[in-house]
Structure 1
């Protein structure tokens, strides 16, 4: 586009996003510096904690107390080298309390913070073991902050000074083995895709929405955080991802709190998002709700170069696809809890989402019988639009039978997901001179779908004695899906249905499950034995093709966990579990879904579930250095197989079962406090995946490759309300099924600044700062000759502001572990 300036045509210049980012960064830095100058009355207290042998004592609890009434002002934990630092202390007189379970509590002070004396260094403080015994009195020990249980690691936040002044996200960042990047994306022992649960219920939020939720959850509303790398029989047998469960404590404070968020971003196009979260608590009732909205315009490109080999000739394809995507999405949730009395609570909750968008895809395919020679070409414009909605309802009850821990919970769930995608394909055939070679080929398809899920479950906990506990439960779920595929050709100036390519697919599934967990604690050893039984009934009906697949099977899923305390600083654990992954409902649908004229994918109604036997050996040193070695063997591995059809000269993706996968992995996680102001969190995972199947394209197939992932996060703390963070990752070349994925890497940068006692937070972030992220895929099969290059709008600059208001003490909404969790995860929604 041109403008007329002084009689001359001048191009309109786009704003340089690097300059925009640096300008905003400079303003935030100047504002921070100006703000720091006004805090003349803010001081700090620091020191170092030693054990009885004068060694550094990590993770000791250090509390800042008001000298007048001994109330807790704030708290922290000592670093790996035993040091601590309490910053941003207002004028006044204070005490320092240092406490570790099994050691005598130490009090220091009082210390005065004033304009004349802003800092105090207490030097070394040595702890002494508490050998005091009281006759005839049973001493109940306070739980340690970090507790490694038989099947999980627990961070006991309740009654800890760590909860004062921190959010849930802040506490997660201090948890062993947990990595939180600048965008709030969470990894557990180096593994992405962790399931985050609140009181046992998945959040179903994006990484960004989840980070906003955790930032608005106060630390003093949390009872504990559970890190579960190998889920027990209590959880659904589906899925192999780790779980982080945030358990909220019951709060008796009343009032209203909430948060509001707004953000903008710019990559190749602008983006925006916003959200509102509210919670109100009275004596008998708790009401909660939230709404989030996002608007995104992005760009992606896919280039495919391939050779179609037959016995008589070769055909070369060079395909370029540029795609502009527009998406609007909203999520909302609400509910009410009614506290009948101290032992019985009933609740109702609902959540839903709406996603709609449209894509403009331009495809150019060059075809020739020699490399870089064009005999003909196809120019295509393939726009599409989609809309997905979903609604879930949960009715729940929790009853505490006695004070010993005997309780029962009941959940009933219903959810419905409705979607539709409309795709248009306009193909023009050109000869080597760029002139029309034959009539245009125009077709379209529509894919309406409906999924309904009913589920119910009950869990019962019975403490046999102080050292032994039994957990049992039942669950039943019913799923109905209806998928249509309508294919139409544009002929004689009208749309005509192609009955040979149209199809309807119906799928019904019923899963009935029961489980039992037995926990036993010895002096230094803990053992948990679990067994889950799941009976599955399914029916897949391809109506048009008259194909019906009935399946009825019963599976047992045992689990064993053993934890051994070797000494004060050393622990080892051994675990085993059997898991299942069932196909998502769309993967079972056999209809052909076209990406363009020469690329498509289709489902497989005969796709079988995969089974995994997983073993894990872990070692922990001083709760900081964590080393894990894992091995798993998976049968009937569900895999996307990318192949070429030499007869049709096309490339396609299908869902198939490979025979086996043997996976070995070694994970090392080690957070380092380099200086008082510089912390480093590092994760390394080395792994070897070996895929085998006896028959693929008429030949035995095997692919295996040694690979590794490394990610690091460096945090520079300028002051308690301002930090700078950069993170980087490197993923080596690896194999998955029949495809090889080239190395991937990237660097992110971000800054955070809080104001008004951390009620306001401003975050400026740059994703993929140097625009290095891309994906290059080739085939692990020697007979397949293709290279797929994908790029997406990975470099995005974002500015986000969050404001939290109301009472900071109020408990967040009581969350429930709904009974349709694993079923809901198998519904694909949105593009």
Structure 2
């Protein structure tokens, strides 16, 4: 226990030093501020690049990127004569007159800077400077993935490994600051496949289609109450350009290949987008080793050893059609349809299970296990938005229909005693369906004529219908017919209908130019109806309501730095992966089954953050405390035939205190570095008193990442990345750590319409080996998972067509359902982002 108090004391001391430095006023603060707007529409221009140049040499001295409100702050320069250049794609570059900086004129406020739209085609535009890879906003951290070419040929999991405060294991399971109960949104919306399985959903999104990733650790009341860890919003690439274009993205490598085509057509007030992407994974070899010691009530023990070679083949696809229409200057319609598929076929060749008692071999069984995890998804969205003459006033109605069909089957073939022929087979078929119907209304309005007071309120209803149809079959020999097992425990259908009705109100108050306070309250009422088709198994789950408060505070300091604090309460409902009563016996020695009677988790989050600038670099600190009650945790028992059986109960309590530090360093106009370190102290207990089942664990968890980018002459570019995740503390043991790295070299050609390059991942590591440990009073298990993830690839992309900038900039809202705890490394919850 001493270590956690040491960490808490260290955190308090660090914050005391930070605030002491923040309030020091011994030296003049050199700062240039401004706001970038569209000269024709007077709307703000987010992400415009501002570069401060030496007036004599025109060398880049410092710079910044405008935030969502078009505002920028440049620091990290000294006395001298400077010229400011502001640029953004589709606008003519702005160049200021000479600005004289001295100790008596150190804080220059330029006010509004108007950019005029450029009349020429997009391919003739030269964009000056490079947008930052990581940006820190008042309520979120943004990772600009489009600037990272090392992810070419990968998927969303590869991108998320580069994002501060996130951890992604080799299976694609995501956690945020140690909590896997997070909401993952795609363009502010949640697909049914995300609600069913986040790691599978991420594999369907190609890295090349991701523009940015938003990490929101303290969501406001307008977000669904789901997701105790926070919100993760993946923004895909879109445009508001006139004309027609076709983009081609492809990659071929040792472990996988992909091909993507995306087309857009914009004429006047109506626009269409059509896209498709397919990815194949092959030659993915690995290994599996497992050693478990089972302690019997009489004090004797059994030793079971398992090993197998593994082979995985994957095929993913995602296809979408989008439409938007500007009915008038104030009324906008958008609609989209998206189809996704995921086929994963995993094989364990020669799964050998040996059982020893008193060091004597008593049995040896050989099996082949083939597992098929297949799914298809459809999402239909429709959104109507109306704006008003009063700035920031807006009303929207959104609808969503989403369906995911998931097939998770396996065939287990058992060989005879001489391992020469198959004597029996067991097959499990499990078809899962997750349907969601959602309607949502949102209204935003300033109070009176004040721009510093904003009221937001709205309502939402989600109807979710989940079905799990499962059955077991047995067969003799290698080709005998399968016969269904007539037992409701093994063959049945489970239905789970959930209706969530919610209402929220949120109030934002700006005090002067330095303080912002935002508070809100959300209420959600959940009704659940669950049933088994062929039995009287209990599935009576009571309805429940919950109030969810939230509070956010931010203060801009005089030197351009920022301090922010937040509190929120979240709820985490279990998803089908925790509820599913299908008995999974793919590995007969380690069986698992969901619990339909699970209740939601409740979590209180406290956060404190500070961001500053040192020279031309940014530095961000954030600390937090998280307390979860009713945590869903696994419960493991050992049967008489030495089988480990796992199910889930609301018996856990989780607490974590931690800190995240990340920095973005601009070494020069051509070379940049950014990195982060995340660490927290985790304290877990299941609250049971029986010594046979009681469990607790605690310890530090550390992870980090580093990214570098260097621009060479003649349109060449080198990028490199590395990520390390330390050992993960779990309630009954730990999950081993691992590291990954990659590098790419790319060349742009034909006026930057095309890019070709080569990349390599983990080129010094033939195989990853992840060591996992499980320790209970009756079970001691050591398992090793191996994966050969060395990869070499060739990347190619090309853009065809001529586009010009559409001066209109329309606001879009969408539906997000964010209320399901996921499996894997933990659970994924849900919230919504309508921005």
* TM-score using structure 1 length: 0.76
For 1:277-676, list aligned pairs within 5 A. 277-297=262-282, 298-310=284-296, 311=298, 313-369=300-356, 374-430=361-417, 434=418, 440-464=423-447, 465-491=450-476, 493-500=480-487, 501-523=490-512, 524-546=514-536, 547-622=538-613, 624-641=618-635, 643=636, 645-674=638-667
Secondary structure of 2:209 counterpart: helix
From 811, 815, 819, give the equivalent of 1:819: 815
Within 1, Cα distance between the matches of 2:299 and 2:559?
A: 72
1:780 and 1:60, CA in 2 relative to 1: closer, same or farther beyond 3 A? farther
Q: Report how far residue 486 of structure 1 moved.
A: 0.8
Conserved? CA contact 1:416–1:452, under 8 Å: yes
* Structure 1 position 228 matched with structure 2 position 216: yes
In structure 2, the CA distance between the partners of 1:307 and 1:826, relative to structure 1 (3 Å rule), is closer
Distance verdict in 2 for CA 1:722–1:652, change over 3 Å:
farther
1:804 matched to 2:799? The reply is: yes
Classify the secondary structure of the residue corresponding to 2:525: strand
Alpha-carbon offset, residue 729 of structure 1: 2.7
Cα distance between partner residues in 2 of 1:58 and 1:381: 67
Mapped to 1, the partners of 2:135 and 2:243 lie a distance apart of 29
- Aligned-partner Cα distance in 2 for 1:231–1:76: 30
**Aligned residue number for residue 31 of structure 1:** none
Aligned-residue CA RMSD in angstroms? 4.1
- Over 3 Å counting, the alpha-carbon distance change for 1:100 and 1:751 in structure 2 is same
Question: Within the alignment, does 1:684 sit opposite 2:684 as a pair?
Answer: no
Matched residue, 2:208: 212
Q: Which string of whole-angstrom CA distances, capped at 9 and with x for unpartnered residues, describes residues 770-809 of structure 1?
A: 2263321112435321101112232222222111233454
Deviation at 1:595, TM superposition (A): 1.9
SS of equivalent residue, structure 1 residue 649 = coil
| 2:198 aligned residue | none
Taking a change above 3 Å as real, the CA distance of residues 445 and 227 of structure 1, as seen in their structure-2 partners, is: closer
**Counterpart secondary structure, 1:723:** strand
- Largest Rg, 1 or 2: 1
Query: What is the rounded CA distance, in whole Å, between the counterparts of 1:371 and 1:364 in structure 2?
Result: 23
Of 697, 700, 707, which aligns to 1:713?
Answer: 707
Question: Is 1:61–1:76's contact at 8 Å kept on the other side of the alignment?
Answer: no
* Separation in 2, partners of 1:420, 1:726: 38
Deviation digits for residues 707-751 of structure 1, max 9, x if unmatched? 211221233332473222322233332312223123322332222
Q: Is 1:191 the counterpart of 2:181 in the alignment?
A: no
Counterpart residue number, 1:694: 687
CA distance in 1, matches of 2:369, 2:622: 48
Cα distance in 2 for residues equivalent to 1:420 and 1:250: 36
Does the CA-based 8 Å contact 2:575-2:820 persist in structure 1? Answer: no
Q: Could you say if the C-alpha distance between residues 555 and 106 of structure 1 is closer, same or farther in structure 2, counting changes exceeding 3 Å?
A: farther
Whether contact under 8 Å (1:276, 1:291) holds in the other structure is: yes
- CA separation of 1:190 and 1:723: change in aligned 2, threshold 3 A: farther
| Offset at residue 607 of structure 1 (A) | 1.7
Q: 1:234: Cα distance to partner?
A: 1.0
Q: CA deviation at 1:164?
A: 7.2
User: Could you tell me how far apart the structure 2 residues matched to 1:84 and 1:588 are?
Assistant: 63
Q: How many Å apart are 1:560 and its aligned residue?
A: 0.4
- In 1, Cα distance between the equivalents of 2:693 and 2:275? 54
Aligned partner of 2:833 in structure 1 is none
Instruction: Call closer, same or farther: CA 1:234–1:435 in 2, change over 3 Å.
Output: closer
Q: Is the 8 A contact 1:541 1:548 kept in 2?
A: yes
Deviations 1:345-384 (A, max 9, x none): 1222111112234333224324243587544311111223
CA distance in 2, matches of 1:101, 1:710: 28
C-alpha distance in structure 2 between counterparts of 1:246 and 1:59, whole Å: 28
CA distance in 2, matches of 1:630, 1:167: 38
What is the Cα deviation at residue 214 of structure 1?
Answer: 4.0
**Do the aligned residues in 1 keep the contact of 2:409 with 2:427 (CA within 8 Å)?**
yes
CA deviation profile, 1:1-38 (whole Å, cap 9, x unmatched): xxxxxxxxxxxxxxxxxxxxxxxxxxxxxxxxxxxxxx
Query: How many residues of Structure 1 are paired with residues of Structure 2 in the alignment?
Result: 704
> 1:417-445: CA deviations, max 9, x gaps?
22223321111242xxx478x99332111
Determine the C-alpha separation between the residues in 1 that align with 2:773 and 2:235. 41
Change (3 A) 1:373 1:576: same
| Cα 1:618/1:755, change in 2 over 3 Å | same
TM-score by length of 2: 0.75
- Give the alignment of 1:725-736 within 5 angstroms: 725-736=719-730
For 1:128-178, what per-residue CA distance to the aligned partner results, in whole angstroms no more than 9, with x for missing partners?
A: 859999xxxxx974699xxxxxxxxxxxxxxxxxx9756999554566865
**SS of residue in 2 equivalent to 1:448:** strand
Q: Tell me which residue corresponds to 1:272.
A: 257
Counterpart CA distance in 2 for 1:247 and 1:272 is 21
Q: Equivalents in 1 of 2:696, 2:107: separation in Å?
A: 61
Do 2:210 and 2:234's aligned partners in 1 also have CA atoms closer than 8 Å? no
SS in 2 for 1:634: strand
In structure 1, the gaps of 5 or more residues are 1-51, 63-73, 88-97, 111-121, 134-138, 145-162, 218-224
Matched with 1:789 is 784
Change (3 A) 1:435 1:702: closer
User: Are the aligned partners of 2:310 and 2:346 in contact in 1 as well (CA < 8 Å)?
Assistant: yes
Give the Cα–Cα distance (whole angstroms) in 2 for the partners of residues 384 and 264 of structure 1.
Answer: 26
* Contact 1:315 1:367 survives alignment (8 Å): no
User: The residue matched to 1:369 in structure 2 has which SS?
Assistant: strand
Question: Which moves more between the two structures, 202-211 or 658-667?
Answer: 202-211
**Bigger relative CO (Cα 8 Å, ≥ 6 apart):** 2
CA separation in 2, counterparts of 1:368 and 1:827? Answer: 30
* 3-state SS in 2 of match to 1:212: helix
Residue 256 of structure 1 corresponds to: 244
**Once the 2 structures are TM-superposed, how far is the Cα of residue 413 of structure 1 from its aligned partner?**
1.3
Inter-CA distance 762–713: structure 2 relative to 1 (3 Å threshold): same
Give 1:106 deviation, angstroms: 7.7
What residue ranges of structure 2 are gaps of 5+ in the alignment? 1-25, 37-47, 62-70, 86-96, 116-123, 152-157, 168-173, 177-182, 195-200, 825-835
1:637-660 CA deviation, whole Å, 9 max, x = no partner? 12345x351412123443333331
For 1:77 and 1:202, locate their aligned partners in 2 and report how far apart those are by CA, in whole Å.
Answer: 37
In structure 2, the residue corresponding to 1:383 is in which secondary structure?
A: strand
**Superimposed CA distance per residue, residues 676-706 of structure 1 (whole angstroms, 9 cap, x where no aligned partner):** 5442212111101101122277443211112
Distance 1:185 1:632 in 2: 26
Match of residue 775 from structure 1: 770
The alpha carbon displacement at 1:446 in A equals: 0.7
Mark the CA change 1:468 to 1:757 in structure 2 (over 3 Å): closer, same or farther. Answer: same
**3-state SS, counterpart of residue 567 of structure 1:** coil
Alignment check: 8 A CA contact 2:190 2:815 kept: no
The CA distance in 1 between the partners of 2:534 and 2:691, in whole Å, is 27
- Tell me if structure 1 keeps the 8 A contact 2:452–2:510: yes
Moved more, 693-702 or 254-263: 693-702
What pairs with 1:99-118 in structure 2 (closer than 5 Å)? none
Counterpart-to-counterpart distance in 2, 1:168 and 1:59: 18
Q: What is the DSSP-based 3-state SS (H/G/I as helix, E as strand, rest coil) of the residue aligned with 1:757?
A: coil
